[in-house]
Structure 1
């Protein structure tokens, strides 16, 4: 059921978006209309004219970081300050179809999070830039045991109390959305993905493909260890066990003696298995 206040908070994190933010806020006003809501714009230390534009608006709550702390940090600030249980987030760069926001919020009647998945009929983004993420998405799906059409969409709605319970482990950078997606799916929260379009951004992208892809990969591994340790760590243990079995076969049938390498491989596999079981036990206790 929808929460009793029947309203929602919309959080828009911005950093140097002077070319798009005014139009974005005007569009949001038209789309949301008379529905009870608040728009929280978190200025993450902008150095262009974004702050001046926001200062002229009386129809928003503007929160400002003195310096650039990161996309995730801006979202955390907005989530903590939100007055409603239902929260939607959207970027201020003109890429996402803002008209989908009311529908995403309504779907929170049945889900803890609803993600606008960029798999619609009109999606404009670099295929080359997205290519490495295909493999990372497959890995994330394996960790979460759930299909993930869009791992890091910046247009989504969720319940505040649910995300607050994970806030301490969510990163301050662009990987905030990736982590919350994997976290909720791995812990079996009801999550829906709704197809949306995606337009070419207004202004220069803040993402650095090579650096952010490497960080993205590191984050997926770390998130997997945190939320699904057995699925991440046990394959490593099995590699050692397979190598130990091959070495033992060679020892018994060729050398006729037990070598140190077989014992080391077997011991390493056993230690990694025990570590995985311990990590899984800690995960279960922390999530209970």
Structure 2
């Protein structure tokens, strides 16, 4: 049996950790458990000490993704499990994720159902992300943003340099695994109501989540985003030309600009595709 490390990023989650850590230790008695304290001001460290759990503390908050990277670097296990420290994830589901790694998958993700989404807005946003990621990769993506996942450590560490310090590490890591042809599995789970208040703020993080949509494309295949946009500009140019020719009998600057935009957008996509290929190039 490979040694397992369970990593929990936490910021002011002492109340949830007080219940989660003993349940997690009971479910996985032989696992290395690491709580990454992201600048907490509560009793997170004391709770970890009380349950004999390793705690990596930061003097200030660096972000959820930064906590994931710190934990992944410090973990000793060959298999890593990432769980939210807010009590949403059931320790009993860890074995279900690990079963997928036993079957040969490199990443197993806990896929939440609609009832487990944190509100209608978040549910609709996640549905959009899943649809777009499925279209981009050609594989069913059931929960792109789930923070509950099991991975092979050596594969996950290949992409640490790509992971952002914020909340979109699940999106980045999932698309990186698909791009590198590492098999990904989804395991249906039920997520409980979190303990305490969420650290995600719709107004503050709205633009950040909007950028996830573009990141999905650029992390996998930029041309799949830029090529259709180029075609749209080209067709708009053709429609504008037909309208102006019928009314004025000539070619206008509007059509020329739309056709030029089509060429420019396509070339940007082509260059982005080459950059993406270089990003995933490995020098073994």
Give the TM-score of the pair, scaled to structure 1: 0.89
Q: Distance in 1 between matches of 2:40 and 2:191?
A: 24
- Runs of 5+ unmatched residues, structure 1: none
After superposition, the C-alpha distances for 1:27-73 in whole angstroms (9 at most, x for unaligned) are 1111013x4x3111111110012122223343x22111111111111
2:45 and 2:55 in contact (8 A); partners too: no
Mapped pair 1:194 → 2:190:
no
Alpha-carbon deviation of 1:204?
Answer: 1.7
1:1-288 superposed matches below 5 A: 6-33=2-29, 35=30, 37-58=31-52, 60-109=53-102, 110-119=104-113, 123=116, 125-288=118-281
Q: Distance in 1 between matches of 2:193 and 2:255?
A: 56
2:110 and 2:187 in contact (8 A); partners too: yes
Alpha-carbon deviation of 1:236?
Answer: 1.7
Q: How many residues get paired? A: 280
Alpha-carbon deviation of 1:239?
Answer: 1.6
Q: Report the secondary structure of 1:273's partner residue.
A: helix
Q: Report the secondary structure of 2:176's partner residue.
A: helix
Q: Distance in 1 between matches of 2:139 and 2:202?
A: 26
1:145 and 1:186 in contact (8 A); partners too: no
- Runs of 5+ unmatched residues, structure 2: none
After superposition, the C-alpha distances for 1:144-181 in whole angstroms (9 at most, x for unaligned) are 33222112112110112222222112111121112212
2:78 and 2:153 in contact (8 A); partners too: yes
Q: Report the secondary structure of 2:185's partner residue.
A: strand
Alpha-carbon deviation of 1:251?
Answer: 4.5
Greater shift in the superposed pair: 181-190 or 124-133: 124-133
2:129 and 2:144 in contact (8 A); partners too: no
Give the TM-score of the pair, scaled to structure 2: 0.90
Q: Report the secondary structure of 1:12's partner residue.
A: strand
2:22 and 2:51 in contact (8 A); partners too: no
1:124 and 1:200 in contact (8 A); partners too: no
Q: Distance in 1 between matches of 2:100 and 2:248?
A: 65
2:126 and 2:145 in contact (8 A); partners too: no
Residue 128 and residue 280 in structure 1: after superposition, are their counterparts in 2 closer, same or farther (change >3 A)?
closer
Alpha-carbon deviation of 1:143?
Answer: 2.5
1:187 and 1:227 in contact (8 A); partners too: no
Q: Distance in 2 between matches of 1:76 and 1:285?
A: 22
